[in-house]
């Protein structure tokens, strides 16, 4: 099942490569949802991380993604796995002068840091 969302890129995380060779990179897109904008985290895996190469925070994009779910130790997790990005190519204008995102909050170690998916 495929879904799509449009919004402005808030941040692009660093690429993570695991010992197994698995690669993933995450991006947060701010979607205007009326009074309360939503910050949606999408992940790109393996060869799809290349889609994030020419993107910058502040760009407007449309992302096609699939919803993935799994069970791990009796808990259930969902991920939004991106596979196509439009509107954010290298020809897109750079973010406005003076545009500056606050640095992301420090990340605490989480229970799934060692999970390669």
* pLDDT tens figures, 46-91: 999 999 999 999 999 999 999 999 999 999 999 999 999 998 653 3
* Domain membership flag for residue 79: yes
Cα separation of 115 and 45, whole Å?
13
For residues 46-78, one letter each, b for 16 or more C-beta atoms within 10 angstroms of the residue's C-beta and e for the rest, the string is eebbebbeebebbbebebebeeeeeeeeeeeee
* Domain membership flag for residue 48: yes
Question: What is the pLDDT, as a whole number, of residue 89?
Answer: 54
Does the global pTM surpass 0.75? no
* pLDDT tens figures, 33-56: 888 999 999 999 999 999 999 999
Full domain range(s) for residue 22: 2-86
* Domain membership flag for residue 106: no
Question: What is the pLDDT, as a whole number, of residue 117?
Answer: 55
Q: Are 92 and 75 in contact (CB under 8 A)?
A: no
User: Is a pLDDT exceeding 80 seen at residue 104?
Assistant: no
How many domains does the chain divide into?
1
> Which two tokens mark 59?
């760009």
User: Is a pLDDT exceeding 90 seen at residue 114?
Assistant: no
């Amino acid at each position: 099942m495929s879904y799509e969302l449009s919004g402005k890129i808030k941040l692009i995380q660093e690429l993570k490569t695991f010992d197994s060779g698995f690669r993933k990179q995450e991006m947060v897109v701010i979607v205007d949802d009326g009074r309360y904008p939503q910050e949606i985290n999408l992940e790109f895996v393996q060869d799809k991380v290349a889609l994030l190469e020419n993107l910058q925070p502040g760009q407007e994009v449309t992302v096609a993604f699939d919803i993935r779910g799994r069970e791990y130790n009796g808990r259930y997790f969902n991920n939004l796995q991106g596979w196509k990005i439009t509107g954010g190519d290298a020809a897109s204008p750079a973010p406005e002068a003076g545009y500056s995102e606050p640095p992301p909050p420090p990340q605490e170690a989480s229970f799934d840091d060692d999970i390669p998916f």
